[in-house]
Amino acid sequence: MKKLVSLLLVASLLLVGAFAATAEEAKKWEGHSIVFAGWGDGAEKAATEAAIAAFEEATGCEVTYINNNSDFDTKITAMVAAGEQLDCAMLESGTIAYPMAEQGLLVPLDSYVEASGIDMSDYVAASCYYDNDGNMISYAGNIELMCLFYNRDVFDAAGIEYPPTSPEDAWTWDEFVDVCKQLTKDANGLTPNDEGFDAENIVQYGVNPGVWWPVWGSFILSNGGSIVDADGNFAMNQPEAVEALQKFCDLKLVDHVAPSVAASESLPAGDVALLTGTYAMVIDGQWNALTYAEAGVNFGMAPIPKMGDEVVSICTTAMFCIFEASEEKDAAWDLIQYLNDPAIDLTLFENGNRMPTSLDWLTSEDKLAQWVGEDNPARPEGYEGIIDMLINYSAAPLTGQIIGWPDMITLVDAAIEEVLYGNMSVQEAMDGVAADIEEAGIVLGLRTAGAEAAETAETAETAEAAA
């Protein structure tokens, strides 16, 4: 009898053990391990680690997170060259991502998106990147766009009304320059409108525009211009683009409302400059809200001015890609979803670093309350205008749109630098770039063209089938 009891006990113990074991095994990726590489400052790293911990806890997958901020591209290039395990990574769309995609190193994600039941029409379209054949190669749940930041105290002191919060009422370029001039002061308190204004001794600038493609690109698009036209020709030397870029450069060269190249070398960082009123306004990416909030600037955010009929603000976002060489593509896809879901970790959305791409998170009251909130210093009054601009007035990142981008942008940046140093006009500079592109045989094109071509081919097929 005793024997039977102990046997039963042992048997039950074994059963419990077995159940416990199966419960453990029920975790989806138990025993799997993936390597993820990404960049980001301390806060971003912490938030990423939190999302990864949640992923590891829920799936049992082991994640090696490589956080590398300097020479990220070099690190990735070296890892790929050495054949090290790298399953998924954040990638910079303007540099190595497309050269890698063109060699078939990145996994098309369309089937994963479909299998996960994600309807892309529920998201801001600009957040994803597509290869030359129209396959999605990056899925991101966060996005940035160009905004106008302003120091409320400077506006109050000058008795000038804040910039309009709705993109519909956004300043025209002339209105914007006019306000900039009123807010620019030299050492004697004179503005560029006054006689005897000393452009060499400016103590307060109306605006500091970021000199990089999403900023000047936004104005070119707003003015009806383009960077590369539908036929794959370099179009920045065409009238609309030249006009927009010249007006943009003239903020520094002619209007004296923005710091010259030499002067900006010695100005403090953007947050300090905006805090101390050295800049009245700044045009740059949405993520600066985090920096300004942390620095304690009494700032506001508004849509950027329009150069043409309507505001256009170019988006930027890091790519999240899976490598073709990975043996854990499915687990990597699950991790990418974790990293991009505001519901998993809200820190970076709440602190001003990012905006979500999910329309639900961008519009529904209870979701907005979680990351915009009322007393959130990183989300100033009028932030709904920024959300409106993202949903209705934004453009996809140029880096994903233009074939041949890395080679082209190096030439364009150098040419704009020449203009800002006062060595040539925008027209001359851009004609020079066009000549260089031709001479070097750089092939440009638009990726949307590839997608459209595929579409027309499909329609042709259906038509044939019908016939």
Partner 1 sequence: MAELQTRAAKSMRWYQRRERAAGWLFAAPALIGFLALTLLPMIFSLYWSLTDFNVFKSETNFIGLDNFRQMFSASDLYFKDSIKATAYYAVLNVPASILFSFAVALMLSSNIKGRGVFRSIFYLPSIIPAVASCMVWVWLLNQQYGLINTVLKSVGITPPAWIWSKDTVIPTLVMINMWNTGGTMVIFLAGIMSVPKVYYEALEIDGGNAFHKLIYVTIPMVTPTLFFNTIMAIINSLQVFTQGYIMTGGGPSNASLFYCLYIYREAFQNANMGYACALAWLLFLIILALTMVVLKSQRHWVYYSDGGR
Which residues sit at the interface with partner 1, rule CB under 8 A?
Answer: 71, 73-74, 77-78, 80-81, 95-96, 99-100, 102-105, 261-263, 265-267, 406, 411, 414, 417-418, 421, 436, 439-441
C-beta of 407: minimal distance to partner 1 in Å?
9
C-beta of 78: minimal distance to partner 1 in Å?
7
Nearer to partner 1, 270 or 305 (CB): 270
C-beta of 131: minimal distance to partner 1 in Å?
13
C-beta of 439: minimal distance to partner 1 in Å?
5
Give the chain as a 3 state SS string: CHHHHHHHHHHHHHHHHHHHHHHHHCCCCCCCEEEEEECCCHHHHHHHHHHHHHHHHHHCCEEEEEECCCCHHHHHHHHHHHCCCCCEEEECCCCCHHHHHHCCCECCCHHHHHHCCCCHHHECHHHCEECCCCCEEECCCEEEEEEEEEEHHHHHHHCCCCCCCCHHHCCEHHHHHHHHHHCCEECCCCCCCCCCCCCCCEEEEEEEECCCHHHHHHHHHHCCCCCECCCCCECCCCHHHHHHHHHHHHHHHCCCCCCCHHHHHCCCCHHHHHHCCCEEEEEEECCHHHHHHHHCCCEEEECCCECCCCCCEEEECCEEEEECCCCCHHHHHHHHHHHCCCCCCCHHHHCCCCEECEHHHHHCHHHHHHHCCCCCCCCCCCHHHHHHHHHHCEECCHHHHEECHHHHHHHHHHHHHHHHCCCCCHHHHHHHHHHHHHHHCCCCEEHHHHHHHHHHHHHHHHHHHHC
C-beta of 241: minimal distance to partner 1 in Å?
21
C-beta of 263: minimal distance to partner 1 in Å?
7
What is d(CA 214, CA 21) in angstroms, rounded to the nearest whole number?
Answer: 53
Nearer to partner 1, 66 or 105 (CB): 105
What is d(CA 129, CA 136) in angstroms, rounded to the nearest whole number?
Answer: 6
* Token representation of residue 227: 């960077």
C-beta of 432: minimal distance to partner 1 in Å?
11
C-beta of 347: minimal distance to partner 1 in Å?
32
What is d(CA 214, CA 228) in angstroms, rounded to the nearest whole number?
Answer: 15
C-beta of 143: minimal distance to partner 1 in Å?
26
C-beta of 425: minimal distance to partner 1 in Å?
15
Nearer to partner 1, 265 or 374 (CB): 265
Nearer to partner 1, 7 or 414 (CB): 414
Nearer to partner 1, 40 or 406 (CB): 406
